[in-house]
Structure 1
Amino acid sequence: MTAELTQRDLRARSGQIMDAVEHGESFAVTRDGTPIGELIPLRRHRVVTHEQFAGGSTNAPVMDTARFRADADSAMDGGLRDPYGA
């Protein structure tokens, strides 16, 4: 359940509220008792299940693996090298 938060409270306690959002809490912001927006944490690291991936990939084009391998081999110039090596 999302906690309600008045616009005035948001202004007065913004640092504390942002810390709570950073730790996963969500808030519905109200003005004069009317909901006007939400504060929700960003979902930066989202886990995608196998089923979700398969469902999202159903319209992907068929890949020619031999051609892909040939392109990758030619792009690597026949070998791998350490880009940070001396």
Structure 2
Amino acid sequence: MQQLKAIGQRELRNDNAEIMRRVEAGESFVVTRNNKPVAQLSPYHSEVVTRPSLGEVQALFGSLPPVDADRWDADRAAADELFGADDPLDDPWQS
């Protein structure tokens, strides 16, 4: 991963044309104010982010194996034994 060059707010204001040319050429910067990062200046990429539909997510979950409740309880009990059970989980549907 490339190291971003830090530039001060004043440098950005005074040299904005040169910095914008460098961003257009592919460079990225972290803009600082009082030596604290406040923004990242990077080239714009018009990529489309696609997300799965509800039906696709349901199909993915439907392809998972069923949860083995007894194994879940055994794993939880083993973890409680190892780490302590100071935060017990109650199953409201058990009663």
Q: TM-score, normalised by structure 1?
A: 0.53
Q: How does 1:1-86 map to 2 (within 5 A)?
A: 1-44=3-46, 46=47, 59=56
Percent identity over the alignment?
A: 37
Aligned partners of 1:43, 1:14: CA distance in 2, in Å?
20
Name the amino acid aligned to 2:29. Answer: F
SS of the equivalent of 1:10 reads helix
> Which position in structure 2 is the counterpart of 1:81?
none
Aligned partners of 2:31, 2:10: CA distance in 1, in Å?
10
Moved over 2 A (4+): 55-58
Aligned partners of 1:33, 1:56: CA distance in 2, in Å?
41
Deviations 1:27-58 (A, max 9, x none): 000001000001010113x5xxxxxx8x9588
> Which position in structure 1 is the counterpart of 2:71?
none
Aligned partners of 2:18, 2:41: CA distance in 1, in Å?
13
Name the amino acid aligned to 1:16. Answer: E
The total of aligned residue pairs comes to: 54
Q: Which ranges of structure 1 fall in alignment gaps of 5 or more residues? A: 47-52, 61-86
- Cα RMSD (Å): 2.5
